């Protein structure tokens, strides 16, 4: 799922049970995309080229994976 930037230049994920939001992490200068229950670099899976892994697990809140905020 390609992430679209919001008006403040950031994209968010949101808890499915409450209004808690987190900023989607960036990798290689752009927001990561969501694939399954993971964030994946927009370039796809590759060796770390910045300071973080190219695949990161989506965070959980209230024991549920967070979803893209709409």
Range of the domain at 60: 12-68
| pLDDT of amino acid 19 | 84
Is 34:1 a contact under the CB 8 Å cutoff? yes
| pLDDT of amino acid 37 | 87
For 20-39, write each residue's pLDDT tens digit.
Answer: 999 998 888 888 888 888 99
- pLDDT under 50: residue ranges of the chain: 1-2
Counting the structural domains of the chain, the total is: 1
- List CB contacts of 33: < 8 A, sequence separation 6 or more: 1, 2, 3, 39, 40, 41, 42
Asked whether residue 4 is assigned to any structural domain, the reply reads no
Asked whether residue 45 is assigned to any structural domain, the reply reads yes
């Amino acid at each position: 799922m390609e992430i679209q930037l919001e008006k403040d230049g950031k994209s968010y994920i949101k808890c499915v049970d409450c209004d808690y939001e987190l900023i989607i992490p960036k990798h290689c200068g752009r927001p990561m995309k969501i694939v399954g229950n993971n964030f994946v670099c927009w370039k796809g899976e590759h060796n770390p080229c910045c300071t973080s892994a190219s695949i990161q697990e989506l965070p959980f809140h209230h024991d549920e994976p967070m979803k893209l905020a709409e």
